[in-house]
Amino acid sequence: MNQDFILGRLSEIMGWNTDRSRQEFDWLRLMSRMKYDGYQDFLAGMRFIESLADWLQQFAQHEREAAYRLVRDSLIYVSTAEMNHLVELFYPETVQWRLQAAVASRLGISPYRVWAVEESANLYRRLLRQTLFVELSDGARIDVFRRANAGTISNEQVITAPRVNDDKWADLIKDLRGDLKDGEAKFTSVFLIDDFIGSGTTLLRREEGRWKGKLARFRDDVQRFLGTHFEDGWTLNVHHYIGSHLAQKVVHERQAVALAEHEEGKWFDNVQFSFGTILPIDTPITEESHPDFIELTRAYYDESIETKHTEVGGSGARLGFGGCALPLILEHNTPNNSIALLWAETQGKEGRHAMRPLFRRRQRHV
């Protein structure tokens, strides 16, 4: 669609005068070109400005400014380039220094001396090969991670699925021992990798008297192989490229509770959490920060988007899964932790409002 035409239509929808239109058009053209048009789930033939115009029309005239100001002032959009940058930083900023610390601890030297002598440098390379990298979802960008570290990390130590079957476990240990020329070699560390964590619930939660989530599932999968595939004292690292301030706090608390509730050897003794970046504590949209927009979330919410999966987070889905109330968009999909008005799409049955998304979300659960 012709951009000038849709900008003119947007000006009519918002009731802007000439000066305001000129100011907003400059910003909209810039942000569309630099970021928002790259969203992967726009419908065919539609880009950001078309989607914005359609989204704003669902609100009454006097409500549209509050909706637009949220997008203009508070929306956080992570582009492909920004996400790939976080992926590329993962190895040098998280993996490398942790392995250096492990080498330094084993040899009783300072971490900065790891590269100074052949013995410590060789141990670093060995520990790196004894490390597994496991994606927890397709958002982990394992393909980008592998390309960024080609020649440093082998494909045989990267697992491109969150569940690992017995045959794969057998291949992993066989390849490790072949590469190291050591028939007794075992893994010393594992990195579980994902793109985003908002509430911490999908990773780890207590439900119906049991621990569930991606971390609990990995525990179940790896339990039978601890003696054969892993050294005593091995470490588990859980890395998210982006984390909310809430999730950073919650995951440590739940890990501590889970460890205390399990018998020795039945839960991970040493779990380290890391993040490429953490959203500021004031990121969530609240009554105090955005009172007018919060009112829109009530007036234009269709509870039909709630499912058994959203119930896990509690508090409905109006403010997103787990009530996180985030104004966050990831270029490949909008997290369900974001405010529902940004991503939800409904038919408006039984007299309910038909929600129209700004950034249409690809649902993984139906």
Query: Residue 274 pLDDT more than 70?
Result: yes
Query: Residue 25 pLDDT more than 90?
Result: yes
Q: Hey, which residues does 277 pair with through a beta bridge?
A: 242
Residue of 307, 306, 164, 312 lying closest to 225 (CA atoms): 164
Residue of 144, 206, 127 lying closest to 331 (CA atoms): 144
For the chain, how far is it from start to end, CA to CA, in angstroms? 32
Query: Residue 31 pLDDT more than 50?
Result: yes
Q: Please give the pLDDT value at position 212.
A: 94
State the pLDDT confidence band at 364, using cuts at 50, 70 and 90.
low
Query: Residue 248 pLDDT more than 70?
Result: yes
pTM, two decimals, is: 0.93
Query: Residue 259 pLDDT more than 90?
Result: yes
Query: Residue 17 pLDDT more than 90?
Result: yes
The answer to whether the beta carbons of residues 265 and 222 sit under 8 Å apart is no
- pLDDT tens sequence across 36-62: 999 998 877 789 999 999 999 999 999
Render 27-93 in DSSP notation, one character per residue: HHHHHHHHTGGG-TTSPTT--HHHHHHHHHTTS-GGGHHHHHHIIIII-EEE-HHHHHHHHHHHIII
State the pLDDT confidence band at 217, using cuts at 50, 70 and 90.
very high
